[in-house]
Structure 1
Amino acid sequence: MRFSAATTAGRFLPQRWALRMGPLLGRIDAVLFSADERGEAGRMSLIAFTIRIVSAVIAFVSQVLMARWMGSFEYGIFVLVWVTMVIVGNLACLGFHTSVIRFIPEYRERGMLAELRGIVLASRLFVLVASTGIAGLGALGVWLASPWIENYYVVPFILGVICLPMIAMGDLLQGLARANSWALFALSPTYLVRPVLILVFMALMLAMHYVPDAKTAIFASIAATYATTLGQLMGVTSRMDKQIPAGPMTVHFGRWFLVSLPIFLVESFFFLLTNADVLMVGAYLEPNDVAVYFATVKTLALVHFVYFAVKAGVAQRYAQFTHGEPERLAAFARETVSWTFWP
């Protein structure tokens, strides 16, 4: 027997309350159990919002523990390096982590399996090569600029670029999973698994009597990032192989790159707007101040969760409505605006 919020309320609440709450509970049931596009998008948005809330709790606990273990000075160094790597890793995808959300649902909807196979493989290879090249250039740039950088930042930044290819690949895998409406595969590795593993590896290294400093935290982050991304890669690849039958492959890299480029520019500016403040604080203030500032602004980021959750749940659905269905597209757009505005 399937669970129903309306039926459960009728069993455990007074009849008058159950009748009044009926319309609301009916809408909850529609979101949880409906098999149409609206229900699937609603469920994915709800899962995304839940994951981000749990992630926020993990982030607060992580800030406290890392600052206690390392002290504010070393924690400030780690924060600046890690935020920089997350920003550059996201940019290293060059927009492919978002453009796949646009192309994969379209190719599946239109039965273009050769193109579907092509973009799945080509996007992974491109992001891996591009992010590895950017990581190499980044390490070289830090080494050449070391006379003008505070000496306590040089080694952590050079170590940090080791994470770049896996951060970029993780962002792409998140896009591939979102394109298939796999909410847990898309979000839990980055927002749940990786931060928990960073704490676990850091605790293990301290138990093995490593120095509690930024370099140790970055080593823990490298191990956690590689473990998370490789696990996510195996999981997403396995599920996609089951859904996409073997066959010929068509690659339209030029078209995909041209579509990804403006996405890259728009998302780059947005991503920088939400993270560049930490970089600016790191450029002008001491690591102690970076640590305090980072912990403070993460509280304000809670407001962003609703928009993030809705975007994660509906982006791939817009791609399905772009061919000859303007009425469905308009109705879906109006509904998702209300999902964002009212919460």
Structure 2
Amino acid sequence: MAVMDTQSATTAASGPIARLRGLAARMLGGTSEASVTRRLAGTIFIIRVISAAIAYLAQILLARWMGGSDYGIYVYVWTWVLLLGSIMDFGIAASAQKIIPEYRTAGNHALLRGFLSGSRWMTLTTSSVIALLLAGLIRLLSPWIDADTIVPLYIGCLMLPPFVIANTQDGIARSHDWMQLALMPQFIVRQGLIIGLTAGALALGLHLGATLAMAASAAAVYIAAISQMIVLNRRLAAHIEPGEKAYDIRGWLAISLPILLVESFYMLLSYTDVLMLQQFRPSEEVGVYFAVVKTLALVSFIHYAMSATTAHRFAEYNALGDRDRLSAYVAHAINWTFWPSLLATATLLMFGKPLLWLFGPKFVGGYDIMFVAAIGLVVRSAIGPVERLLNMLGHQRICATAYAVAFLMNVGLCFALVPRYGGMGAAAATSLSLTFETILLFYVVRARLGLHVLAFGKARPAL
């Protein structure tokens, strides 16, 4: 029954998204790769904006309903779930956007069918084993862990397998340009369920602490992932003829593991600031900083939208050997990442105080942090989704190296700045690391691919 309710919610939510997508299509028009990319990226961006509004509302309500300390614990555990859940698929979610187009282009239908089913079974099995090992580790370390954090951490382990499966299904759906199916279950249905379940707990008179909030989040993750699986299986059955399946697990891992390194260091770089704050500063300060990060999330959504739309096309054009088409497409992706990101950043900084006030009056104290945190996001957007370009063209290792260096730099700066400067130090450390990473990736792409991957400074070919 829960799955049916979730599917109904997805169908209902798709109505306004379909209308907005139709409006974007009329505005952008055309059938070229550029037009198709803008429409798909527009769809993704609209979904992420709607999901951001829902997630923002969820965080505001949770912060007000739970209180500073419990909210800080919830944010800490949820950050670990996001971090670990995003890398426990061994890079399969990201590599799907390389493997699936290459199988299609080469006509390897047996391998394609094997990957579509086998990749999900593989990630489900491995993530379940890792989750059990992590639960055992928590038990061993429990004497040194805050007592109020232990049960939420166990619940976090419980939700890791469906979280990983949802990420894998996201990658498969994106490779078929099914952007609504890829994103809506995780970013709209799941967030809506978190609000509904926690509100229901309050209505029943239950105390909404970190444990209950994590339990509600776990239920939402399971329902959204199962619903997505049902719909994805139906679409794949209609899209791909049944037949023999072949499994090249060694080949999948050869592609995926280097991408996993990239994704791992990217996620570590994204969440190091929050995790380091939890170690050195009070939970209330972690909550304030997390509110700042959530407020600036719109900027990263633009980068995410272009990455999700362009990755499998990078792989396709490279497989076809069409260098001119690839170069023009990369330039287009960079322009449509940087300039909208710059505009979004300026808008968010302009309205930052009232947005933070929605979390509670004390959260306004994080407004100054927004300016420092925004620097790294804007600088990073200036080279667009080049990490996807490197991954899709077989340069995963050098990309992972650049991310690793930036991550280590972030850890060192956080150790130096967070104990003394708190959230401001965390924001400065992250922005400096992102700026350094941007410079590294720019030179890597120019040296390896001969491309000028900057939103300005050189004339660009039309697509």
Question: TM-score surpassing 0.5?
Answer: yes
Partner residue in 1 for 2:142: 146
For the 8 Å contact 1:37–1:317, the answer to whether it is kept is no
Partner residue in 1 for 2:116: 120
For the 8 Å contact 1:198–1:220, the answer to whether it is kept is yes
For the 8 Å contact 1:92–1:131, the answer to whether it is kept is yes
Partner residue in 1 for 2:195: 199
Partner residue in 2 for 1:45: 41
Cα deviation, 1:154-175, whole Å, max 9, x if unaligned, reads: 1110121110001111111110
Partner residue in 2 for 1:314: 310
Question: Following the alignment from structure 2 to structure 1, what is the Cα–Cα distance between the partners of residues 202 and 27?
Answer: 49
Of 276-285 and 160-169, the range deviating more from structure 2: 276-285
Q: Does 1:159 align with 2:155?
A: yes
Q: Write out aligned runs for 1:215-254 (5 A).
A: 215-254=211-250
Partner residue of 1:59 out of 55, 60, 68:
55
Of 323-332 and 64-73, the range deviating more from structure 2: 323-332
Question: Following the alignment from structure 2 to structure 1, what is the Cα–Cα distance between the partners of residues 327 and 273?
Answer: 36
Partner residue of 2:269 out of 273, 279, 298:
273
Of 35-44 and 325-334, the range deviating more from structure 2: 35-44
AA aligned opposite 1:284: F
Of 323-332 and 238-247, the range deviating more from structure 2: 323-332
Q: Write out aligned runs for 1:292-311 (5 A).
A: 292-311=288-307
Partner residue in 1 for 2:329: 332
Partner residue of 2:84 out of 84, 88, 98:
88
Q: Report the Cα offset of residue 190 of structure 1.
A: 1.4
Of 103-112 and 137-146, the range deviating more from structure 2: 103-112
Of 247-256 and 34-43, the range deviating more from structure 2: 34-43
AA aligned opposite 2:163: I
Of 57-66 and 162-171, the range deviating more from structure 2: 57-66
SS at match of 2:318: coil
Q: For this pair of structures, how many residues does the alignment match?
A: 316
Partner residue in 1 for 2:166: 170
SS at match of 1:145: helix
Q: Report the Cα offset of residue 31 of structure 1.
A: 3.6
Q: Report the Cα offset of residue 29 of structure 1.
A: 4.3
Question: Following the alignment from structure 1 to structure 2, what is the Cα–Cα distance between the partners of residues 336 and 293?
Answer: 30
Q: Report the Cα offset of residue 271 of structure 1.
A: 1.4
For the 8 Å contact 2:25–2:39, the answer to whether it is kept is no
Of 175-184 and 302-311, the range deviating more from structure 2: 302-311
Partner residue of 1:134 out of 130, 143, 160:
130
Partner residue in 1 for 2:437: none
AA aligned opposite 2:88: A
Q: Report the Cα offset of residue 149 of structure 1.
A: 0.9
AA aligned opposite 2:46: T
Partner residue in 2 for 1:22: none
Question: Following the alignment from structure 1 to structure 2, what is the Cα–Cα distance between the partners of residues 30 and 118?
Answer: 39
Question: Following the alignment from structure 1 to structure 2, what is the Cα–Cα distance between the partners of residues 101 and 81?
Answer: 29
Partner residue in 2 for 1:12: none
Question: Following the alignment from structure 2 to structure 1, what is the Cα–Cα distance between the partners of residues 191 and 27?
Answer: 33
For the 8 Å contact 1:43–1:313, the answer to whether it is kept is no
Q: Quick one: higher RCO (CA 8 Å, sep 6+), 1 or 2?
A: 1
SS at match of 1:342: helix
Partner residue in 2 for 1:187: 183
Question: Following the alignment from structure 2 to structure 1, what is the Cα–Cα distance between the partners of residues 249 and 72?
Answer: 41
Question: Following the alignment from structure 2 to structure 1, what is the Cα–Cα distance between the partners of residues 169 and 35?
Answer: 23
Partner residue of 1:106 out of 102, 105, 109:
102
SS at match of 2:296: helix
Partner residue in 2 for 1:341: 338
For the 8 Å contact 2:54–2:192, the answer to whether it is kept is yes
Rate the CA distance shift 1:28–1:123 in 2: closer, same or farther, 3 A: closer
SS at match of 2:69: helix
Question: Following the alignment from structure 1 to structure 2, what is the Cα–Cα distance between the partners of residues 104 and 40?
Answer: 19
AA aligned opposite 1:341: F
Q: Report the Cα offset of residue 36 of structure 1.
A: 4.4
Question: Following the alignment from structure 1 to structure 2, what is the Cα–Cα distance between the partners of residues 168 and 161?
Answer: 11
For the 8 Å contact 1:131–1:165, the answer to whether it is kept is yes
Rate the CA distance shift 1:156–1:107 in 2: closer, same or farther, 3 A: same
Cα deviation, 1:102-146, whole Å, max 9, x if unaligned, reads: 111221233211111011111101110111111101111111001
In the alignment, structure 1 segments of 5+ residues that lack a partner are: 1-26
AA aligned opposite 2:223: A
Identity rate of aligned residues, in percent? 38
Cα deviation, 1:216-243, whole Å, max 9, x if unaligned, reads: 1011011100000000111111111111
Q: Report the Cα offset of residue 35 of structure 1.
A: 4.0
